[in-house]
Chains A and B, each alone.
Chain A
Amino acid sequence: MRRVSPAVAVVGASLAGLSTARALRNRSYDGRIVVVGDEVHAPYDRPPLSKEFLAGAASRDDITLTTPDDADLGIEWRLGTRAVGLDRSGRAVLLADGGEVRADGVVLATGARARRLPGSGGLGGVHVLRSLDDAIALRQDLAVAGRLVVIGAGFIGAEVAATARGLGLDVTVVEAQPIPLAGPLGADMGAVCAGLHADHGTRLLVGTGVAGLVGTDSVEAVELTDGTRLAADVVVVGIGAVPNTEWLADSGVTLGGGVLTDARGATDVPGVVAVGDCAATWSESAGRHVRAEHWTNALEQPATAAATLLGARGPGPAPAPYFWSDQYGARIQFAGSRRDGDVVRVVEGSCADRSFLALYERDGLPVAILGMNQPRLFTRWRRQLRSAVPAAS
């Protein structure tokens, strides 16, 4: 269907959406670009929300993602506007305010939202951390609190615990699994990273489920499945994220733990691509669709998806996924793809010193690398890893 005025609608105004708009202009796309975002805020960087921003060391301006150069992109921002549907035949994004954005191409970049603890709604002092508003609310509560309980010892939970310890709070982390971070890092290295909590005076309880929260107006305690009650002024729930795809239920776009796309970001609806945390992208190496929630993924996928949308061939997927976490002043970096059964060994430094590199090998070949407080060596190994892993076609 030809239109007088070509346009791309980008649904989602965070890193993936902004990066796709930039990538379209990099490819000399000169049609309209309309970016729809449900938050009122201009694009901001999320990693500092659990760290410097939460600690009060970074301001709102510090974490703004857009630069003065972005003004030249000519983006039409529709912020504070929620998309509620996609009309595939009319190729229009339907908005909560009754309006619509008609476009030749649509970029789905609606991200994910924090998973909440069932039955925790309405109780004061209970937080999740995903958005700028979440971080502002949590920061205000932490400033007057003495005791924090973090439910979930994943990266977000660990970073919040570390920041709160730095602010002087008494912190307990509760984790249902026997070893934190065993999914991304494996049991051995998950245990090493979780050791940072004890190093810095945070209590870590593992293999412990949460039975419920105690309190009338505000939370007073967390009750564990073994009957233990942990007194708490503030509770942070960090138990993962779910993709924001419900609005696409009747759109014809196939969903399955995210928006299903091929390796180049194309959904099964022509002219519609998906990027970032909401996208479950086909991975040739994994042999399945993978929904990655890493910052670098939200940065890199848009270059490929923008090319796909314009009928060009963009860069292939990054051969070695990369993510990092900063906790208690320790820099944790990971690159590659780990699976259960991979053999891990420390190749530099020592875990006890909290300064090391650990190499993951499969069939004698390096597949992933983990570094703690070793940025220079990590970069070298990451480069070697890239040359060792054949790029996906």
Chain B
Amino acid sequence: MIPVCPTTALPPGEAIRVEAEEPIAVFNVDGDFYAIDDTCTHQDASLADGWLDGCAVECPLHASCFDLRTGKVSGPPAKTPVRTHRVVVRDGMVYVQPRTAAGCDA
């Protein structure tokens, strides 16, 4: 698991980019944490810089939308989903468990 930050460093409505084999974006939606691939599948942009609206993030460049719970595209122009990753909160720290390319938890 990759330590991300203390929960207090990621308040609701905020996102943080985590360096991993493929960068991961971790979001706080009203106290619930979600993690997806950070790089938009449409063009190179960091989704952690995007517009958070409920459980959807809008890419900061071309407005593609992704559902944080499933990684599915919820708005064009992207067509390919992002991967989701498991978030663990333990002792006031946020951790992320990167999913492998095969689609299973590592």
The residues of A with any CB-CB pair to B shorter than 8 Å are 15, 45, 47, 52, 63-65, 67, 295-296, 299, 322, 324, 326, 331, 333, 375-376, 378-379, 382-383
Closest to B51 in A: A379
Interchain CB contact (< 8 A) of B51 among A15, A64, A382: A382
Q: Quick one: given A15-B76, A64-B79, A65-B76, are A47 and B62 in contact (CB under 8 Å)? A: yes
Given the contacts A67-B79, A324-B61, A375 and B73 also touching, CB distance less than 8 Å:
no
Q: Which 10 A-B pairs have the closest CB atoms?
A: A375-B60, A376-B49, A45-B77, A67-B79, A379-B60, A375-B49, A379-B51, A65-B76, A379-B49, A296-B63
CA distance A315 to B23 in the complex (A): 34
Question: Once the chains bind, are A322 and B60 in contact (CB under 8 Å)?
Answer: no
A330 to B50, alpha carbons, bound, how many Å?
18
Verify if B45 is at the interface (C-beta below 8 Å from A): yes
Q: A45-B76, A67-B79, A322-B63 are in contact. Are A375 and B45 (CB under 8 A)?
A: yes
Binding site for A on B (CB under 8 A): 43, 45-46, 49-51, 60-63, 73, 75-77, 79
Which of B49, B50, B51, B76 has most chain A Cβ within 10 Å? B76
- Minimum CB–CB distance from A222 to chain B (whole Å) comes to 32
Q: Which interface residue of A52, A67, A333 has the most chain B CB atoms within 10 A?
A: A67
Contact A378 B60 (CB under 8 A): yes
Complex contacts, B50 vs chain A, CB 8 Å: 379
Instruction: Enumerate chain B residues within 8 angstroms of A322, measured Cβ to Cβ.
Output: 63
A316 to chain B, nearest CB (A): 15
Residues of B close to A47: CB separation below 8 A: 62, 77
Residues in B neighbouring A379, C-beta threshold 8 A = 49-51, 60
**Which one, A63, A65, A331, contacts B61 given CB within 8 A?**
A331
Q: For residue B46, which residues in chain A have a CB less than 8 angstroms away from its CB?
A: 375-376
CB neighbours (8 Å) of B75 from chain A are 299
Complexed CA–CA distance, A351 and B46 (Å): 23
Which residue of B is nearest A51, CB measured?
A: B43
Number of A-B contacts (CB under 8 A): 38
A-B contact pairs, 28 of them (CB 8 A): A45-B76, A45-B77, A47-B62, A52-B43, A63-B77, A64-B79, A67-B73, A296-B63, A299-B63, A299-B76, A322-B63, A324-B61, A324-B62, A326-B61, A331-B61, A333-B60, A375-B49, A375-B60, A375-B61, A376-B46, A376-B49, A376-B60, A378-B60, A379-B50, A379-B51, A379-B60, A382-B51, A383-B51
CB distance from B70 to the nearest CB of A (A): 12
Least CB distance, B51 to chain A, in whole angstroms: 5
* Chain B residue nearest in CB terms to A58: B43
A378–B63 Cα distance when bound, in Å, is 13
Check if A65 sits within 8 Å of B60, measured CB to CB.
no
Contacts of B62 in A (CB 8 A): 47, 324
Question: Across the interface, which residues of A come within 8 angstroms of B43, CB to CB?
Answer: 52
Q: Give the distance to chain A from B105, nearest Cβ to Cβ, in Å.
A: 26
Alpha-carbon distance between A324 and B63 when the two chains are bound, in angstroms:
10
Shortest beta-carbon distance from B100 to chain A in Å: 24
Complex Cα distance A383/B63, Å? 14
A382 vs B61: C-alpha distance when bound (angstroms):
13
Residues of A within 8 A of B49 (CB): 375-376, 379
- CA gap between A45 and B43 in the complex, in Å: 13
Q: Is the CB of B77 within 8 A of A65?
A: yes
Could you say which residues of chain B place their CB within 8 Å of the CB of A382? Answer: 51
Given contacts A65-B77, A299-B75, 4 further A-B pairs with CB under 8 A are A45-B76, A67-B79, A326-B61, A333-B60
Complex contacts, A375 vs chain B, CB 8 Å: 45-46, 49, 60-61
Which residue from chain B places its CB closest to the CB of A18 in the assembled complex?
Answer: B76
A336 to chain B, nearest CB (A): 14
- Give chain A nearest CB distance to B47 CB in angstroms: 10
Enumerate chain A residues within 8 angstroms of B79, measured Cβ to Cβ.
64, 67
Measured CB to CB, the nearest residue on chain A to B72 is: A69
Q: Which residue of chain B lies nearest to A296 when distances are taken between CB atoms in the complex?
A: B63
- Closest residue of chain A to B50 (Cβ to Cβ) is A379
Across the interface, which residues of A come within 8 angstroms of B73, CB to CB?
67
